[in-house]
Amino acid sequence: MPIMPAISSGARMQGLVMYLAGPGKANEHSNPHVVAASSRTLFAAGGAGAEMNREHAYELGHALDEARVVFGTEVTRRDTAALKAAQERGVKGSAAIAEATRDENVWHCSLSLPPDAEALDDATWSAIVHDFMEGMGFDDPKAADSRWVAIRHGLTKNGGDHIHIAASRVRDDGSVVAKWRPHPTRGGNEGDFARAQRVARELEVKYGLEVLSSYNKDMASRGRAHAQDGATKPQLDAEGNVVREPRIAESPSVTLARRVRAAAAAAESEAEFVRLVRADGLVIRAARYDKTDPRAVTGFSVGLPATEYANKHGQPVMHGGKKLAEDLSLPRLREGWIDDANSRADALSAWDHADERATTPREQAAPHQRAADDTQRATSDAEVAARLRAILTPLAQSAATEADYAKALRNHPDVVARPRYAKGSTTEVTGYAVALHTRLARGADGKEIWRNASYLGGGLALKDLRQRWPDSDSHRALAASAWSRSNRASAARADDNPLAQRLHDDARRWQRAVTSINDPHSRAWHAVAADTAGAVGAAARGLSGEQAQSLNQLADALGAVSGHRRPTQPQAVRSYTSARRVAATMLAASRDDTTLLWLAAVKQVLAASKAIGEAMAAQGHTRQARHISAAIAATDLQFQGQVLTPSHSARRVLSPTAVPVVRTRTSTPSTGHGRERG
């Protein structure tokens, strides 16, 4: 069971201690008590291990903050994001600096165990915390005493055992505890975030806990910011009632890693990658840190649009590629892209254009322009809904049964439909969504504008239509079959769809390439996991609901084992694999084709994913292997009984002489492209 540290800073010691000792935001805290402290005096002030009350918290907060108050020591940090925001608003000089200065005399760190780990006793936590604070430099024999306390108040919302450390940055002689300290072995300075991870790994070994897989096996994983995780949860009042819905469905860093990996897998060149990321609606910016060539791009950062997730200044929250995952740094991504003079020039142009767009985001448009855009969008939505009603109403009136209606929807040239299934079922249809064909109406992303039929009015909701149709076991079976064929996007004609046939063969080749890796300890497994995750993530972009959720879960589980640490290789050294061709095909497909294409590849992709999971288990990554297995099971359940396999005659059409390859490299680097490699 790995120890997971999470650090934050603040200015109000009293407020932090009162929160840790209190009931929590939703009465989630239970039996708050002190398990360790820097001195017996502080331990006694916090109740000496007994359940804390308000008086204990008040006395403890004042005792922790005493040195700062006595010496008047200020501990500040200049917030560069706040400074930039102030300057953009026209605030200048010392006024901007003052606005961006943060008081950070309070150091707060939580040490958590995974939800599936066995809880530790107070004595073990106390020993761990004392060693941890010594390793962090708070308990330094060469400096004056610092003041800190560790409080335990039950499990996290996810069910994991944890403790909180509240520490003052001001020592008993008025000096400040430094966040940056020399690294004990490699030299140079080390920040408190990196030092906390290193010390936690050392304590896992010392106390016989499970050492974090990303540390001792050179496989990097990424944590998530508390603010981002908090935005995914509803805000509750004291009674546990929801007072504000979650701002976002999942942590932005998770979403970004998945979507960037899909774009990177699909792209053949760096310029194509930049354009695919922008086409997916993300904000991307170049990082230029080469002192010899100011225009050279050495990295990138990416973020969701400010309309979806922004900081308190209204700006997108940007994440560096390597911060998302080890294998998403720009040098690592360049290993799989074309590298020649033309591609480099094209990439530089794409980055320049992306930077121009990023500095003038759409969110900064004039208010009257945004209002005009919203009005135009609303008008377009109303027109789409009206046209859908005009098409669906006569179809519903002329249908004698539900099966007839589903068949009519499937065969209509101007509309596409997909059923909505009951939770956990692949046959029980509870509703349906419809969209006009993209030649008639399309969204900003060029894909269909889907509408739930229940919201169209006119009695087109499935529950209303069923009242006029016969209801028997045979009619329900016929209807389920008709809806299933509709959901497979004209699966009856799959053998005539060259794109689905080619995708099926690409997936088969990828399955063979993955399962042919004989050594379960080979590092090639991490590379094939990255490409498979890209393909699955690309497929999820064209699906919705529980189907998309299951694919996102699988893409995240595979992506978690793709970021192994290793030296960067030369550019264009990795081949353009079959999995990457699958990713490119899925990203380019229209939404009504996505389901059909995925069903043509799902069996092979899941088989490859299973092989990856087994290899991770053999390498000792048991937690990640379990996540992959669970995601495979969830995906298999969602698409159970819907696998499409082109006929033998269809495969003959796919011979190289009969069907041209859709995606080819514009140039062939000298290494590795003549054969497929993981």
* Euclidean distance between CA atoms 49 and 35, whole angstroms: 6
Between β-strands 415-421 and 429-436, what pairing exists: parallel, antiparallel or unpaired? antiparallel
Question: Are 371 and 357 part of one and the same domain?
Answer: no
Q: For residue 238, tell me if it sits in a domain.
A: no
CA angle 265, 267, 273 (to 5 degrees): 105
pLDDT at 212: 56
Last residue of a domain, one of 312, 331, 363: 363
Q: Give which of 594, 400, 573 is closest to 488, Cα–Cα.
A: 594
Question: Are 328 and 426 part of one and the same domain?
Answer: no
pLDDT at 369: 43
pLDDT at 654: 36
Q: For residue 666, tell me if it sits in a domain.
A: no
284 token code pair: 């991307």
Question: Are 567 and 647 part of one and the same domain?
Answer: yes
Question: Are 349 and 372 part of one and the same domain?
Answer: no
Last residue of a domain, one of 348, 363, 378: 363
* Euclidean distance between CA atoms 419 and 408, whole angstroms: 14
Q: What is the dihedral of CA 489, 493, 499, 505, to 10 degrees?
A: 110
Between β-strands 101-103 and 76-78, what pairing exists: parallel, antiparallel or unpaired? antiparallel
**Interhelix angle for 578-588 vs 591-619, to 10°?**
150
Question: Are 502 and 452 part of one and the same domain?
Answer: no
Q: Give which of 267, 260, 262 is closest to 665, Cα–Cα.
A: 267
5 token code pair: 């540290």
pLDDT at 665: 40
Query: Which residue in this structure is represented by tokens 């799959």?
Result: 494
pLDDT at 173: 95
Question: Are 166 and 295 part of one and the same domain?
Answer: no
Question: Are 319 and 405 part of one and the same domain?
Answer: no
Collapse the DSSP code of 126 into the 3-class scheme (helix H, G, I; strand E, B; otherwise coil) and give the result.
Answer: helix
Q: Give which of 313, 324, 108 is closest to 221, Cα–Cα.
A: 324
The CA-atom distances, in angstroms, between 390 and each of 201, 408, 454, 588 are: 64, 14, 15, 30
CA atoms within 13 A on the CB side of 512: 8
CA-based Rg of the chain, rounded to a whole angstrom?
28
3 token code pair: 């120890």
202 token code pair: 């050392």
CA atoms within 13 A on the CB side of 565: 10
Query: Which residue in this structure is represented by tokens 């430094």?
Result: 178
Last residue of a domain, one of 310, 337, 363: 363
Contact in structure between 597 and 589 (CB atoms under 8 Å): yes
CA atoms within 13 A on the CB side of 4: 18
pLDDT at 222: 59
Q: Where are the alpha helices (DSSP H) in 207-251?
A: 213-216, 226-231
pLDDT at 312: 82
Count of domains forming the chain? 4
Question: Are 193 and 329 part of one and the same domain?
Answer: no
Q: For residue 287, tell me if it sits in a domain.
A: yes
pLDDT at 56: 93
133 token code pair: 């604070």
Question: Are 499 and 563 part of one and the same domain?
Answer: yes
Whole-structure pTM over 0.75, yes or no?
A: no
Q: Give which of 193, 177, 143 is closest to 68, Cα–Cα.
A: 177
Q: Give which of 17, 2, 6 is closest to 120, Cα–Cα.
A: 2
Strand order in the sheet with 415-421: 415-421, 429-436, 451-452
Q: Which domain holds residue 405?
A: 367-487
Q: For residue 386, tell me if it sits in a domain.
A: yes
Question: Are 41 and 178 part of one and the same domain?
Answer: yes
Q: For residue 160, tell me if it sits in a domain.
A: yes
Q: Where are the alpha helices (DSSP H) in 569-671?
A: 578-588, 591-619, 622-638, 648-653
pLDDT at 33: 95
List the CATH number of the domain containing 145: 3.30.930
**Interhelix angle for 524-540 vs 498-515, to 10°?**
150
Query: Which residue in this structure is represented by tokens 């993981």?
Result: 678
* Euclidean distance between CA atoms 205 and 483, whole angstroms: 55
Question: Are 83 and 111 part of one and the same domain?
Answer: yes
Contact in structure between 343 and 321 (CB atoms under 8 Å): no
Question: Are 477 and 616 part of one and the same domain?
Answer: no
Series of mean pLDDT values for 10-residue runs along the chain (678 residues): 87 94 83 95 93 93 95 92 89 90 94 84 95 95 95 83 95 94 87 92 83 52 62 67 75 92 93 90 89 88 89 88 90 91 90 71 42 43 85 87 87 84 79 84 74 88 89 82 65 57 90 93 91 94 85 93 78 82 85 76 93 91 89 89 58 35 37 41
